[in-house]
A and B are shown apart, each in its own frame.
Chain A
Amino acid sequence: MSHIQRFPTTAKACSVNPLKMSQPLGGALAFLGIDNCLPLFHGSQGCTAFGLVLLVRHFREAIPLQTTAMDQVATILGGYENLEEAIRNIDERMKPALIGVCTTGVTETKGEDMAGAYATFRQRNPKLDPLNLVFVNTPDFAGGFEDGFAAAVTGIVETLAQPVPLTVKGQVNILAGCHLTPGDVEELREIVESFGLNPIILPDLSLSMCGRQPTDFAPTSLGGTTIEQIKAMGASEITLAIGEHMRVAAAALELKTDVPTAFFDRLTGLEASDRFIRTLSEISGRPVPARLRRQRESLVDGMLDGHFFFSRKRIAVALEPDLLYAVTGFLNDMGADVVAAVSPTQAPVLEKIRARTVLVGDHSDVEALASGADLIVSNSHGRQGAARLGVPLHRMGLPMFDRLGAGLTVNVGYRGTRETLFAIGNRFLAAEMDHDAHGHDHTDGDEHHHQDGGCGGGSCGCSAG
């Protein structure tokens, strides 16, 4: 997974407090957005256990994830037998609609031939023909979380999507990148449906990772895109690909089904949302619903009320590439100064990021770059560095194990942008009010600049009355 774009990578041999997570983990998350699916890691059982714990802690949900449990001997002699046994065991015990196999560092170092394994499996197990299988290569030692997610979505499209001779009016595909939370996906569905359109979202985490209350205990994913829906994607009018890392999957889908694609690199921000809404209006031929019009108005109002607190604020952001782009883009839109944008991996979208420093690095790099910053935006792993610097941390991305509802925050569309604006803006506002209350001051030698009691200029929001 090497990209032509090369952004400076830290020259360190030792990654300290890594921001990066592995490819198979991203792959697993994509598979969890498919209904009645079981992701399977082809590797040693630890590979699965770590990923499982991370996702459990983030989503606070049971996470179905299995392992081919490779030991030393199987690793050296070849893992096909373990793979076959695992698939057969899973089929027998859980009857999933789909098993999504992700390779790991162990099996990729050995160089397991996954295409060959797929063919052999099908040949040897004709009885399991109805079971859908998607095999993806996701070596731990290349790329990262987002690449794994993209690889899995591409794998699903390539294996399961098919050309359909007719087009269903009003049906649209949405390829939802991993920078979207289940809450974001839910918001997208509501927006798209409000235009009378019928979306097929791949993968659909809003149905599986949104806090389900099952009537029975399911060992596989509960809810998500169904296999039938994936097969029907060829009949859609258009594919809306959300996020730069969905481009390959979108191209694969277009190649297979001839459904044209519209790209949206981000959906957080006024202009970004406008473009999306305009497109939906054009596709559906319907006017923009009143609810969305009100939401836009309220976002504009929020920007007016909130811009005081964002202007020239120095913010360091460290997130997966597409989320990094969306968040830094939004912060730039608000007039903030993005002092550092740190990505765990190389990605084409980094080219578009506007920041003083764009770097492929880890949390220790963020710590070095964010000294003196007003805010760090990153996942929960940023907490140690932020605490050392005394800079507040606004949590976004994954993992977020020290907050409730990590999977359900909404950052897209007019409403989501407004939520993000308020959440971040309130941190600055609170810091400012706190500052005033304690009688401290921002500038040296001008100790009493708020002393006359009026927080002049309206920048504190308290001169509004």
Chain B
Amino acid sequence: MLQDKVQEVFNEPGCAKNQAKSEKERKKGCTKALKPGAAAGGCAYDGAMIALQPIADVAHLVHGPIACLGNSWDNRGSKSSGPQTYRMGFTTDLSELDVIHGGEKKLFKAIKEIITQYDPPAVFVYLTCVPSMIGDDVEAVCKHASRKFGKPVIPINAPGFVGSKNLGNKLAGEALLEHVIGTEEPEVSTDTDVCIIGEYNLAGELWQIKPLFDEIGIRLLSCISGDARYHEVARAHRARLTMVVCSQALVNVGRKMEERWGIPYFEGSFYGVSDMSDTLRTMTRMLVERGAKKELIDRAEGVIAREESRVWRRLEPYRARFDGKRVLLFTGGVKSWSMVTALETAGLTIVGTSTKKSTKEDKERIKKAKGKEFHMWDDLKPRDIYKMLRDSEADIMLSGGRSQFISLKAKVPWLDINQERHHAYAGYDGIVALCEEIDKTLSSPIWRQVRLPAPWE
């Protein structure tokens, strides 16, 4: 039952935020009740898509009316080094008659068409609100199709109205645990095999990290789900170690893999110099604890020393240019926060951040690091940010694409640090790339011009 699954996910013991709550609070779930007329953000189906769509060779079929896919396909920046199937949009495009007669037959036919024409290693079927309401038994159809065509057809049960994007991430993770991970065996196993969870290879960020792994001798067995292939995900359970990125989203997968296959996991980040180094250190230390050769640690230290000295040298030119420049962060939790230290070392001053999506621990951490005078806003209205920027309380805003116009309309520089960004900011090279982008936009000649009064003013 979907409800049980949702409850189970809400109870996630691996989630620090959940564990801080009372039992009663936990039951209510991690999603704040949405306020009609004042809500923003995606639904559970959206979240499930975000988590799984980067698996590049899979056909992602959306079972629902046109809105769910027609309005949203080909809009994410996840990169693939090979197959492009994941970028195609497949939907059953339910019509009035399907709503009346049920969409199961159409779904089955759609799966058949996809397998005949595109022959992907697996088909993922995303359930949306309308077929859930009319009672389509998607799991049964998938099972049947799977048997008939001899190919995995995986139901992803996360219709939009069960909750938020974050919940959808977790339900997608549950689907992988139930149907995919552990269903195949790798040809070769090594004692440095790792699995990364929650890295989507946006703008090719995974490729900024992978060469470092190769050099140290860490083998990336499976990434969920950036630049992934179906078979790699199915073999993830043979990893020696799991790293969970962007912790709140898919921590359930990491914890359950530990529970089922005894694979230890840690939460880490690729953003920012110190976080990146910490990640490499933790990863190699844990691998060695599990039996990998000790040299791994030395090689990691070598790479860290070299990359760190290189990155500080490369950030040096920005220090003078960034002196006195103030940054306003308007974004979620840990991910962006781990960039902050690096930005500060490059000479920028962070004047404040929104903490709407941050956990209590995040906030404590920020308070400790920044002192009491630092601004943290829980529920900042766009209008207030606009005013702050207009009154030049910051020189640049870093945020997601949706809030860009708050800054741009105030004629203040803005940089995308979220999902749809075009530049990769992970690892050591990433932080230099981020500073370069900030520098480019801060020093653009347009700012003076666009602020000039019109001839008639």
Contacts and interface: CB of A to CB of B under 8 A. Distances in A.
A450 interface: no
A141 B130 contact: yes
A180 B112 CA distance: 39
A214 interface: yes
B91 A105 contact: no
Given A75-B133, A88-B37, A15 B93 contact: yes
A109 B130 contact: yes
A105 B405 CA distance: 30
B170 to A, nearest CB: 16
B381 to A, nearest CB: 8
A71 interface: yes
A401 B75 contact: yes
Interface in B47-105: 61, 64-75, 84, 87-96, 98-99
Interface stretch (A21-29, A119-127, A245-253, A313-321): A21-29
A110 B132 CA distance: 12
Contacts of B162: 71-72
A86 interface: yes
B45 interface: yes
A181 interface: no
B179 interface: no
B115 to A, nearest CB: 10
B161 A71 contact: yes
Contacts of B68: 46, 50, 105, 140
B409 A49 contact: no
Nearest to A57: B75
A216 B386 CA distance: 8
A13 B91 CA distance: 9
Contacts of A66: 37-39
B134 A90 contact: no
Interface string A34-51: 000000100111111111
Given A106-B130, A401-B75, A141 B110 contact: no
Interface string A95-121: 000000000111001100000000000
A87 B38 CA distance: 10
A22 B402 contact: no
A15 B71 contact: no
B409 A62 contact: yes
Nearest to A19: B70
A438 interface: no
Given A25-B67, A45-B39, A219 B382 contact: yes
Given A22-B66, A141-B66, A14 B110 contact: yes
B37 A45 contact: no
A89 B36 contact: yes
A80 to B, nearest CB: 11
A67 interface: yes
Given A18-B73, A47-B67, A50-B71, A141 B43 contact: no
Contacts of B98: 141
Q: Interface centre among A53, A144, A212, A214, by most B CB within 10 Å?
A: A53
A14 B90 contact: yes
B161 A16 contact: no
- Identify the interface centre among B36, B96, B99, B106: most chain A CB within 10 Å of its CB: B36
Interface residues of A, number: 66
B109 interface: yes
A71 B162 CA distance: 6
Contacts of B128: 105
A21 B43 contact: no
Contacts of A216: 383, 386
A22 B73 contact: no
Interface residues of B, number: 67
Nearest to B386: A217
B127 interface: no
B64 A105 contact: yes
A105 B71 CA distance: 13
A102 B363 CA distance: 39
B72 A54 contact: yes
A327 interface: no
Given A16-B90, A17-B89, A62-B409, A75 B161 contact: yes
B32 to A, nearest CB: 11
Contact of B37 (A54, A87, A139, A142): A87
A384 B74 contact: yes
Interface in A185-218: 212-214, 216-217
A24 B67 contact: yes
Given A20-B93, A53-B72, A219 B36 contact: no
Q: Which of A57, A67, A214, A217 has the most CB of B within 10 A?
A: A217
Nearest to A106: B129
Contact of B43 (A44, A54, A56, A61): A44
A49 B43 contact: yes
B401 interface: yes
B263 interface: no
A304 B403 CA distance: 47
Interface in A376-407: 381, 384, 401
**A-B residue pairs, 5 tightest by C-beta:** A46-B43, A86-B37, A14-B110, A13-B109, A89-B37
Given A16-B88, A43-B129, A47-B43, 19 more contacts: A14-B109, A18-B91, A22-B70, A44-B160, A62-B406, A69-B35, A69-B36, A69-B39, A70-B161, A72-B162, A75-B161, A90-B38, A139-B65, A212-B409, A213-B409, A217-B386, A217-B409, A384-B87, A401-B75
Interface of B: 34-46, 61, 64-75, 84, 87-96, 98-99, 106-107, 109-114, 128-130, 133-134, 160-164, 382-383, 386-387, 401-402, 405-406, 409-410
27 contacts: A12-B113, A13-B107, A13-B112, A15-B66, A15-B70, A15-B90, A17-B88, A17-B89, A21-B71, A22-B70, A25-B71, A44-B160, A45-B43, A46-B68, A48-B39, A50-B72, A62-B406, A85-B36, A86-B37, A89-B35, A90-B37, A105-B64, A106-B161, A109-B133, A140-B67, A217-B387, A401-B75
